[in-house]
Chain A
Amino acid sequence: MTRTRSPKSPSPRRSGTLRSWLGWTAKLALVGLVVLAGFAVYLDAVVQEKFSGKRWTLPAKVYARPLELFSGLKLSKQDFLTELDALGYRREAVAGPGSVAVSGNTVDLHTRGFRFYEGDEPARRIRVRFSGDYVAGLSGADGKDLPVVRMEPLLIGGLYPAHNEDRILVQRNELPPYLVETLVAVEDREFFSHFGVSPKSIVRALWVNAAAGGVVQGGSTLTQQLVKNFYLSNERSLVRKATEAMMAVLLELHYDKDEILEAYLNEVFLGQDGNRAVHGFGLASQYFFGQPLAELQPHQVALLVGMVKGPTYYNPRRNPERAMTRRNLVIDLMAEQSVIDAAQAAAAKQKPLGVTARGSLANSSHPAFLDLVKRQLREDYQEADLTEEGLRIFTSLDPILQNKAEAALHDTFKRIGKGGDPVEASMVVSNPETGEVLALLGSRQPRFAGFNRALDAVRPIGSLIKPAIYLTALEKPSQYTLTSWVADVPFSVKGQDGQLWRPQNYDHQAHGDIYLYQGLANSYNLSTAKLGLELGVPNVLKTLARLGVEREWPAYPSMLLGAGALTPMEVSSMYLTIASGGFNTPLRGIRSVLAAEGEPLKRYPFQIQQRFDPGAIYLLQNAMQRVMREGTGRSVYSRLPRSLSLAGKTGTTNDSRDSWFAGFSQDLLAVVWLGRDDNGKTPLTGATGALRVWTDFMVKADPLPLDMPVPENVTQAWVDARSGLGSEPGCPDAVQMPYIRGSEPPPGPPCGLPQAPAENVQDVIENVQDVMDWVRDWSN
C-alpha cells in the first residue's frame, strides 16, 4: 500500500514531472498511512472496547430444586439414579466429580459441588445406602456419617430473547484435559507462537489438507476466527479479511494467549437448538453430553473440537456417521501430535459418540413451569435483566415428580382410549407445607409450549367449591358439626324477577336426612346448596377469599355449586390453605436468585398467614378424608392403601365439560383438570377423569400419609352411628367423631335404649360458651 519507488538517476528534464509525480505519490501515501493509522486506531478501540467490557449477554439460567440427601429421606434408588442420569453422571468407577457406581443398594458417587444462595456446597465423594424406598445411610469418603448433602441442581432451561445466543461461560481452569492441545492441533498449530496471523500455518494447512485428502485444517488462526465471530459479519471479502488480520494482530498486542483462548472457547458456535444458538464449549458439553465441560473424556473432546469446522454438517445427533468419521480423524491427529498416545487413541476410537438423546437443557423441556417462573420473575425484574445478565434462578421444580405427573397423565389417557381424544389437561403439584410448586403440566403434551392451562384456563370449578361451604359451616360449632342433620331434599329459590333456581343432585335423587359430612362426601348438591343459602352466599364467598381465591364473584346461589371459574393454579392456592391447616401460603415457584458471579440478589421467602381456626380445618379435612373413604373419591383405595388417609374433592360441571380433582396427602397437593379447550362435552366426570390421573400420580409418587395433629380445641367423641347422639365406646354402632370441644352431641340413652330427643339445650349452650371462651383465648 505504501509503495514508494526511489527515483534513480532522474534526468533534469523530466525531473519536474517526476518530482511532482513523486510528490503526489508521497502525499497520497502519507494520506493513506494516516487513513490506515486512523483505521487502526479505530479498530484498536473497537477491539479493546468489546473485549475489556462485558463480552457477552447471558440468558438467565433456571435450575430445579437441588436434591437434599439425608438418612431417612423418602427416595427410591431408582428415582435417585434417574436424577443422576439427568445430571449427566457417568456410571463408572468413582473417580472425580460427576461419576457414580452402583452396587446393590449402595450408590457411590462424587458430587460436583455448586454455589447456592447461602454459599458453596463442596464437591465430595459420598456413599448413599438405600433400604426400601428410603435412604438408610449417608456417609463421606472417610466412612463417617454425613448429616445432609445437597446435590447440584438440574439446569432446566433459560430465559431467552426471541433469537439468541446462549452459552455457559467457562474459565481456563475449568477445561478438560487435552481440549486446548487438541484444538490447537486441529485448528492452529502455531497459536502459541504467532502474533495473530500466521503465514506459516496457512502454508502448513495447505500441506496437511493435501496430505489428508480433504480439508482438515483451516488457514486462519484461532485469533482470526475469534475476531471473525466476535467482531465481524459473515461477509467474505478481501477487505474483511484484511480487517480481520489487523484486528487479530491488535488483539494479540493487548491480550495474552490465555485470554484470547478463553474468549475463543466461549465464543465459538457449535450448534443450533431451535432458535437458540449454542455457543462455546461449556454449553456444547451440556447440550450434547449433559455433562460439565471439565468432565469430558478424550473422545468427547475430539468430537466437539471436530465440530468447530462445521457444527451443522457434523451435528452428531443429525449426522452421526459424519460426526464419527470427523471425530476419529481428530483422534488420529491427537495421536499424531502426541496429545495422547496410540493406546489412548485406539481406546477413544472404540467409544460411541455418547451424545444424549436430546439437548438436556432444551428450551422446552418444562415449558409450563418455566412460564410460571418467568411470570413470577417479571414482577421483580426487567426483561433485559432476565435475558442478558446471566442470573441464576433457583426454583422448586422437582424433576422426579414432574416426570411422574407427566407419566400419570400419559398412562391415564392411554387407558381412557379414544373417548379422551379431544380432551386437554393440566395439573399442578405443590407441597402444602411449604407452598412450593413441585410440578406443573399446562397441556397433554408436556413439551409443548403453548396455551398454559394450569395458569390461564379459567374454568368453572363445580363441586370443588363445596369445601368452602362446609368450612363456613364448621367455623360455627354452635350451629354445625360434622354430624348435624341436614336435609337433602329438592327446593327452589326465587329470584327478584321471579325466576326459580332448582338445584339437582347428580343422580337426580334426593337423599333425605343426612349427616352434614355426608353431603360433602357424596357431593350432594341439594343439601350443600341449602346449607350454603342458610350460611349466606356472601359469607361463603368471604370464606373463599380467605382461602386465597382473589376473584370477585357475584353472590348468586349458582356460585354454591361452582359456577364460578378458576384456573388450576388458583384452585391449588385455595386447597393449599385447607391442606396446610388453615394457613394461607402464596404458591411459589422460585426460591432465590443469584447474580452471574454468584452473589445473592433476592430470596422469595416462605410466608404464611393464618386464616382459619385449626379446629374447623381439622373437621373439614376429616370430611374430605371421608370423600375418599366412602364418597365420590373412594375408587382411589382400589389402587392405594387406606392408611394414607388422603383427603380430596371431585368436581364435575354440567355435561361433564370439566373434570376436576383436588386432593392431598401430608406432603403433596395435586390438582388435576381435564376438559376441552372448546368447552365441549366430555365423557368424563371428576371421578372418572381427573381422579384417575390424580390416583395414578399418587401411586407413582408414593406420598406420606395425611396425619394432621389434633388441634387443642378438638375432641374425639363417641357417637351412635345411626342417631348421631352421644354414645359409649362399648356400645354397638358407637363410632368416634371429632368435634370442636363443647359442640359434641349430648350423651344419648344407655346402649340400645330408645330415648326421646328432648335434650338438654341449656347444656349445649353452656358448652358452646366454653368453646367460645377458649377460642377467644386462642385468638389472642
Chain B
Amino acid sequence: MNRWLFGAVAASVLLSGCATVEHGSIPVVDASGSVYDQQQGRGSGTTSRPPVATPSQAPAPVEDAGVVVMVPGGGASAAPIQSYPASGVAGSVAPIVSQPITATTPDGNAGYSVPRAPSGAPGGSPAVSGNLAADEQLDGPVLALLTTAQREQGSGNLDSAASSLERAQRIAPREPQVLYRLAEVRLAQGDAAQAEQLARRALTYAGGRPALQASLWNLIAQARERQGDAAGAAQARDRARVNL
C-alpha cells in the first residue's frame, strides 16, 4: 500500500515536473493591466454577490479597438455563421422525464402559498398536492419526496428533510420548487448563504412563473437579512413586488 502510494506520489511529481511548461522561458509584458478587477471569486461564500459586471467594470476600455462589432474589411476569408434550429427546439426527442415535472401551466395564480405546517396524510393524495403548490401541480416522485420532506421538516428533522429534497433534486434537477424547498430548509438550518444561492439557482429555472419568482425573491430577502445585508434584502423585496 505504502509502496503504491509512494510510487504514485513519485510518479505524479515526476509527471508534473515533466509536463509543465517552463514558465520562465516566455517572459512577457502584459499590456492589459488589471483595470477591471472582479472582486468576486472563488472561496468562501460569505460575500455572495453575483459575479456579474459591477458598474466599475462596465466602461469599455479603449485599448482593444480591434474586436468591436464591425464589418470585416474585404471579408474574403470569413466563413458565414452557420445556423441550426434554435436551441430551445431540441428536436422531437422530448424526454419523458421532463413532462410531469416541468410542464408549465399558465401562471396567474398569484397567491403562491408557502407550505409551513406538515400536511397530515402523506402518500400523494390530491389534497396534499393542492397544499403543496398553487403555482403548478407536481406529481409522481417529486411530489412524493416533497411530501416526505415536508413531514420530516414538520417533525423538526431538517437534516432528513434536506436529504429527501436532494433525492427529489436528483430526479428533477430543474424543478425550481424543489430548489425553493431546499433553500427554505437551509435557511431553517441556519445556512443563509446557501439558502440564497439555491434560491438564485431556482430563479434560473423559474422563467415565466412570476408567482414562484416572487416567492424566491422573498426568500432571498430573508436570507440576506440573516446575513446582515439589509440593503440587499430591500432590493430583493422590490424584485419580489415587481414580479407579482
Contact = CB atoms under 8 A, between A and B. Distances in A.
A610 interface: yes
Interface stretch (A100-108, A210-218, A479-487): A479-487
A677 B26 contact: no
B70 interface: yes
A545 B159 CA distance: 31
A195 interface: no
B29 A496 contact: yes
Contacts of A458: 12, 15-16, 19-20
B143 A74 contact: no
Interface in A557-602: 557-558, 563-565, 581, 583-584, 591-592, 600
Contact of B81 (A436, A609, A721): A721
A707 B96 contact: no
B121 interface: no
A622 B30 CA distance: 30
A545 B51 CA distance: 12
Given A711-B204, A721-B81, A777 B15 contact: no
Interface string A462-486: 0000000000010110111101111
A707 B90 contact: yes
Nearest to B206: A709
Contacts of A494: 28-29
Interface string A492-533: 011111010100000000011111101000000000001101
B67 A534 contact: yes
A779 B88 contact: no
Contact of B96 (A72, A531, A553, A775): A72
Nearest to B25: A499
B197 A583 contact: yes
B126 interface: no
B162 A603 contact: yes
Interface string A701-738: 00011111111100010010111110000000101111
A554 interface: yes
Interface in B149-197: 152, 157, 159-160, 162-164, 166-167, 169-171, 173-174, 182, 194, 197
Contacts of B117: none
Nearest to A487: B66
Interface stretch (A84-92, A291-299, A336-344, A624-632): A624-632
Interface in B31-50: 31-34, 36-38, 40-42, 45, 48-50
A611 interface: yes
A514 B27 contact: no
B67 A475 contact: no
B64 A479 contact: yes
A457 B93 contact: no
A175 interface: no
Interface in B73-126: 73-84, 86-88, 90-93, 95-97, 99-100, 124
B71 A147 contact: no
A456 to B, nearest CB: 4
Contacts of B100: 72
A496 B27 contact: yes
Contact of B67 (A147, A457, A516, A706): A516
A490 interface: no
B88 A558 contact: no
Interface string A757-780: 101000010001000100111111
Contacts of A533: 30-32
Nearest to B21: A563
Contacts of A556: 23, 26-28
Given A452-B8, A558-B21, A479 B68 contact: yes
B171 A757 contact: no
A325 interface: no
A677 B55 CA distance: 48
A736 B52 CA distance: 25
B130 interface: no
Nearest to A517: B81
A459 B173 CA distance: 32
Contact of B8 (A456, A584, A605): A456
B19 A722 contact: no
Given A433-B173, A533-B31, A592 B163 contact: yes
A613 B27 contact: no
B169 A434 contact: yes
B230 interface: no
A72 B171 CA distance: 10
A141 interface: no
Interface stretch (A221-229, A250-258, A262-270, A535-543): A535-543
Given A148-B140, A613-B53, A721 B80 contact: yes
A73 interface: yes
A395 interface: no
B204 A534 contact: no
Contacts of B25: 499
Nearest to B95: A704
A119 interface: yes
Contacts of A157: none
Contacts of B166: 434, 591, 605-606
Given A68-B171, A147-B141, A608-B201, 9 more contacts: A512-B77, A556-B27, A558-B21, A611-B51, A612-B52, A625-B87, A657-B19, A768-B60, A776-B54
Interface of B: 1, 4, 7-8, 11-12, 15-16, 18-21, 23, 25-34, 36-38, 40-42, 45, 48-55, 57-58, 60-61, 63-64, 66-84, 86-88, 90-93, 95-97, 99-100, 124, 139-141, 143-145, 148, 152, 157, 159-160, 162-164, 166-167, 169-171, 173-174, 182, 194, 197-198, 200-201, 204-205, 207, 232, 235-236, 239
18 contacts: A72-B141, A460-B20, A485-B69, A497-B27, A513-B77, A538-B30, A546-B42, A548-B42, A556-B28, A584-B42, A603-B159, A606-B169, A606-B182, A607-B194, A629-B82, A642-B84, A706-B90, A733-B80
What 10 pairs across the A-B complex have the smallest Cβ distances? A536-B32, A643-B91, A512-B77, A433-B173, A147-B144, A735-B83, A148-B141, A721-B80, A70-B141, A563-B21
